Amino acid sequence: MGAWVVVARQELRDLWLAGRGLPLMLAFTLLLSVVTWLTAANQALNFLEQHEAVSLTLQVTVAVGALLALLVAADAFSGERERGTLESLLLTPVPRWELALGKLLAAASAWVAAFVLAIPYLWVLGHGVGATGRAVAAGAIVGTLLAVAMTGFAIAVSALARSNRLSLSVSLLVLLALFAPTQFPTGARQGWAGELLQRVNPITAANHYIGNLIVDGHAWTRDLAWLISPAVAAALLVVVALALAPRVVAR
């Protein structure tokens, strides 16, 4: 058994049995209940078509799930440093990259739990038009890419940051900056510059793919180019986290 498995198990126990995991999931469930009720109400008033309601709920799930994974990961090393447990952790006979990998996997479990909780809500909204299966599959692919990317980024920031507050602040600021283009008016997102910005930004690219797949009914492979930036971000940021954390975490 690799040392990263042992680290991941311990981190999972700390997160779900004695940490913030369950309260975070409770808050997420309440938020998702409100979003589902609002989308169902708008659907009943003909403000939202059923596929749009499913797409909106899935996008909220992906966004908040990535946020939860980021919050957990941002505490990975900076939290240990503030609690005075980092030195004893580094003295264990475990390669530091495996420490980072175990912590990354444990943080990503927040996204997995959030996604599992969202499946019944997606079924309630989408079973009447056969959109549930497509939404669940899209969420598993797109949401996992974004969650892994955000987790890798937050692990790297946590290794660099001297305080937990700084780690959380930087991670949240970058996440908000990535979400900002989703609030741009439609006109600002048109043209080659607007499309380029959406394609490069993993958040907007993921939302675009979900909308085309669920609302417009596009084939799975038609818009795969929109998943390039989420996939590249996930791979690159995980590599950065595993390479960077061992070099700087003890400094």
Q: Is the pLDDT of residue 25 over 90?
A: yes
Residue 194: band (very low, low, confident or very high) from pLDDT cuts 50, 70, 90: confident
H/E stretch holding 26? helix 21-44
> Are the C-beta atoms of residues 200 and 194 closer than 8 Å to each other?
no
pTM: 0.90
Identify the pLDDT of residue 63: 93
Identify the pLDDT of residue 1: 60
Identify the pLDDT of residue 251: 57
Where is pLDDT greater, at 114 or 50? 114
What's the rounded Cα separation, in Å, for the pair 98 and 132? 37
Query: Coil, strand, or helix at residue 49?
Result: coil
- Report the domain count for the chain: 1
Domain that holds residue 39: 3-248
Identify the pLDDT of residue 250: 56
Task: Name the one residue in this structure whose structure tokens are 């946590």.
Answer: 158
